[in-house]
Amino acid sequence: MSFTVAIDGPAAAGKGTIARAVAARFGFAHLDTGLLYRAVGARMLEGADPVAAARGLAPADLARSDLRAADVARAASEVAAIPEVRAALVAFQRGFARQAGGAVLDGRDIGTVICPEAEVKLYVTASPEVRAHRRWLEEGGDAAQVLADVHARDARDTGREDAPLKAAGDAVLIDTTALDIDGAVAAACAHVAARL
């Protein structure tokens, strides 16, 4: 029997950390769907056509070590606005969600588009300033630039026509602005446990 946990939210809100912790706690598989768009973005930076790259995405593309780079993140949010790129990635994500033993998927459109029937939907957010500060603690760089990048990515992710970032009507909101990791993970696990 499949059991899907959909976790959406903006960059650096803590959804990846929460998704990994929920998966570990309940023994579910985990897919960071941002990696799919990052892998396509990385291929575009190398000159590939993004739609062809999305259609031909292979496991090795997801294992690249450069997918966390800032230029790849920017390219990811650009290719994520192309409907044919998104369409090419749907079947893989839905297949992953339905696997036996349970699955956690985190991204921007999991509860709204990919898995609208998910048993648990969480929308994890935090203020742009707190998210930029967390990103800066992890990656360093110019703090003002990191905040500008967060705002730019939010604008692209919420403003695109196809599958924009937004909370599903039936998603549970977890605001991590004033929550530490343990608090956020505990809140998420409690929601999952209540549905199992």
Binding site for ligand C5P (CB under 6 A): 11, 33-34, 37-38, 73, 76-77, 80, 107-110, 153, 157
Residue ranges for the known binding site are 9-17
- Identify which of residues 68 and 193 has a Cβ nearer to ligand C5P in the complex: 68
How near is the Cβ of 79 to ligand C5P at its closest, in Å?
8
- Identify which of residues 110 and 187 has a Cβ nearer to ligand C5P in the complex: 110
- Identify which of residues 22 and 190 has a Cβ nearer to ligand C5P in the complex: 22
Pick from 22, 10, 24, 14: nearest CA to 119: 22
How near is the Cβ of 149 to ligand C5P at its closest, in Å?
10
Do β-strands 120-125 and 4-8 pair in parallel, antiparallel, or remain unpaired? parallel
Residue ranges for the known binding site for ATP are 9-17
**Cβ neighbourhood burial of 26 (10 Å; 0-12, 13-18, 19+):** middle
How near is the Cβ of 150 to ligand C5P at its closest, in Å?
10
- Identify which of residues 24 and 90 has a Cβ nearer to ligand C5P in the complex: 90
**Cβ neighbourhood burial of 22 (10 Å; 0-12, 13-18, 19+):** buried
Who contacts 149 (Cβ-Cβ below 8 Å, separation ≥6)?
Answer: 70, 73, 74, 132, 135
